[in-house]
Amino acid sequence: MGRVIGFELNSQEPEKATEFYAKVFGWEAATPNWGYRAVKTGGDEKSGINGGIAKGPHDYPFGTRIQIEVDSIEDAISKAKQNGAIIVRDKMEFDEFYLAYMVDPTGLGFGLIQNK
């Protein structure tokens, strides 16, 4: 079962967005890495998810995407395509994980993550 493990807020002003969420909700943002600022939304004593804030790319300049953890990113991409999804960004490799972005048949964007 794919579990939602995070979110990504895309903005053309990520610094301003980071400041807003820190002041309003107390989120703690890390130093940007690959232009992505990991944010912690609370402590471990309550359920919830963390995420990040980034400058939205040309193919997704504004909006929120959930990130779904999968055991095999290739299998998840294949199943999603078979069921009407479109690949926005195919499998990308990062230090500790693989990431892909897709759009479901209704137009909702989401990310797939497979940890190494």
Residue 11 within any structural domain of the chain: yes
The closest of 36, 44, 42, 40 to 9, measured between CA atoms, is 36
Domain boundary among 58, 84, 106: 58
- For the segment 29-66, what is each residue's pLDDT rounded down to a tens digit? 999 998 899 999 998 888 889 999 999 988 889 999 99
pTM above threshold 0.85: yes
In the three-class reduction of DSSP (H, G, I as helix; E, B as strand; rest coil), residue 6 is classed as strand
Residue 101 — pLDDT band, cuts 50, 70, 90? very high
**Residue 14 burial by CB count (10 A; 0-12/13-18/19+): exposed, middle or buried?**
buried
Beta partners for 110?
Answer: 66, 102
Residue 65 within any structural domain of the chain: no
Residues 74 and 104 in one domain: yes
Whole domain around residue 11: which residue ranges? 1-58
Residues 40 and 3 in one domain: yes
